[in-house]
Structure 1
């Protein structure tokens, strides 16, 4: 009987020791798991930071920043996502052959990024070399009064050869207005109105104040960019600008996660 009691007592001790060892093992495993999670977390942080730095370095290689470039909904014609953080601003002359040549590239960009980017048009009629440029800008604005600015903009570029060398292209512009279903009488009145002339002149003077000397001139947000030689080049620039804002969001997220890690320790 005494031997049997000792055996039972030993068994209880063994079980107790086993539980103690298991508890210790669990604690060690949890420590290792937490340590591994911290290592993985910091590896992710380092990769994210390096990626953000790389993006920002590439962005800094873009041409100069001009803080005077501001979006003005009362003066600017905009299509695409008006609330987008990325804005492509075009200073253009409707009589400029180079501006006309860029329209297919801009249209392709709008088709792909129209829901993520604002496409802004500003008049910069080179009056000294393009005698009909200012009147063409007034024609586009007159169409805009009736809600057809972009449609007139497109026709003026498409038919640029027709009206560029006209002594008085007004009849051509009226013809285009009629094809768009505009009120011809209102269009004729608006095209030479003081309000529209003042707006075109405002755009012209603002362009001069920025030191612009040719068309087309493009700004991607507040950065002047060289006119892209292809759609792929413009696409790359737009995506790079988008990535800048993604990097900002990532950095914000990283900062918040680091703060959470500090508070949890």
Structure 2
């Protein structure tokens, strides 16, 4: 459970009813009032960013909510930003809905749309920007499944640049693969120096995913790429802006695992829609 959910869980259990004919403002007011009951929250902003009418559950809608808070910490305070999904039918609000027949959370069917502003030229690695289909990939190069799947998917799509515009976003998972954090910075630095096909080569770098020594990580990277990226290169403003942009986009789209793929602006849970394009 995330820090934000831990902080808010007690307050949310106190009440779960809204007035009928729920509006975005109703949801915002209700959640803010509930959250403010937690003494650990110093400052709070709650904003409904998108409303999605559920097709499978008549009368219910999903609300994608952005929460921006300042919370008490052991030393001072810390800022927390998080996206949440809430459901309401106008009378009741709930953090989740479960399909009785399948036991599957309806949150699995809710995802923010991939906005046009997220298709940035620096993320376009193959294909034409005006291609028939847009595919966005969020991946960690040290994720075992990613290493097997992502290069194959990219190589398949890159053969037809008129059909596929492939956008790639770095999404390292530091708790699982700490080495990936510096590895993706090195990849961006290499691209900025004019290196080609960096993303595909990134999946062939051999390094312990738990490695934290930046010199060992860069040694493995430079050996594969035949480059000379230094620790100082990773600290450049351009590198950090690119990485932060990728992570912010991932946060806005509620990406929480790898690989995550969007096909023509919609989350592709199968990760296989590109294969069905004739």
TM-score (norm 2): 0.53
Q: CA deviation at 1:71?
A: 4.7
Equivalent residue in structure 2 for 1:83, among 125, 130, 138: 130
Give the Cα–Cα distance (whole angstroms) in 1 for the partners of residues 176 and 116 of structure 2: 25
Matched with 1:156 is 202
Give the Cα–Cα distance (whole angstroms) in 2 for the partners of residues 148 and 158 of structure 1: 15
Matched with 1:59 is none
Query: Do residues 196 (structure 1) and 242 (structure 2) align?
Result: no
Query: Do residues 105 (structure 1) and 105 (structure 2) align?
Result: no
State whether residues 183 and 221 of structure 2, in contact with CA within 8 Å, keep that contact through their aligned partners in structure 1.
no
Change (3 A) 1:227 1:132: farther
Partner of 1:213, secondary structure, is: coil
Name which structure has the greater RCO, CA cutoff 8 Å, separation 6+.
1
Give the Cα–Cα distance (whole angstroms) in 2 for the partners of residues 124 and 115 of structure 1: 26
State whether residues 137 and 262 of structure 2, in contact with CA within 8 Å, keep that contact through their aligned partners in structure 1.
yes
Give the Cα–Cα distance (whole angstroms) in 2 for the partners of residues 208 and 84 of structure 1: 26
Matched with 1:171 is 216
Give the Cα–Cα distance (whole angstroms) in 2 for the partners of residues 118 and 206 of structure 1: 18
Q: CA deviation at 1:181?
A: 4.2
Q: CA deviation at 1:149?
A: 5.4
State whether residues 139 and 173 of structure 1, in contact with CA within 8 Å, keep that contact through their aligned partners in structure 2.
yes
Query: Do residues 210 (structure 1) and 253 (structure 2) align?
Result: yes
Query: Do residues 139 (structure 1) and 186 (structure 2) align?
Result: yes
Give the Cα–Cα distance (whole angstroms) in 2 for the partners of residues 175 and 159 of structure 1: 6
Structure 2's unaligned 5+ residue stretches are: 1-108
Greater shift, 128-137 or 187-196, is seen at: 187-196
Residue deviations 1:47-88 (CA, integer Å, cap 9, x gap)? xxxxxxxxxxxxxxx986715254533441421223313111
State whether residues 112 and 253 of structure 2, in contact with CA within 8 Å, keep that contact through their aligned partners in structure 1.
no
Greater shift, 92-101 or 76-85, is seen at: 76-85
Q: CA deviation at 1:209?
A: 1.6
Structure 1's unaligned 5+ residue stretches are: 1-61, 240-265
Matching of residues 23-38 of structure 1 within 5 Å: none
TM-score (norm 1): 0.55
Query: Do residues 114 (structure 1) and 154 (structure 2) align?
Result: no
Change (3 A) 1:111 1:208: closer
| Larger CA Rg, structure 1 vs 2 | 1
Q: CA RMSD in A?
A: 2.8
Partner of 2:203, secondary structure, is: helix
Write 1 or 2 for the structure with the bigger share of helix: 1
Matching of residues 6-21 of structure 1 within 5 Å: none
Give the Cα–Cα distance (whole angstroms) in 1 for the partners of residues 270 and 197 of structure 2: 21
- Report how many aligned residue pairs link the two structures: 170
Q: CA deviation at 1:180?
A: 3.5
Write 1 or 2 for the structure with the bigger share of strand: 2
State whether residues 128 and 161 of structure 2, in contact with CA within 8 Å, keep that contact through their aligned partners in structure 1.
yes
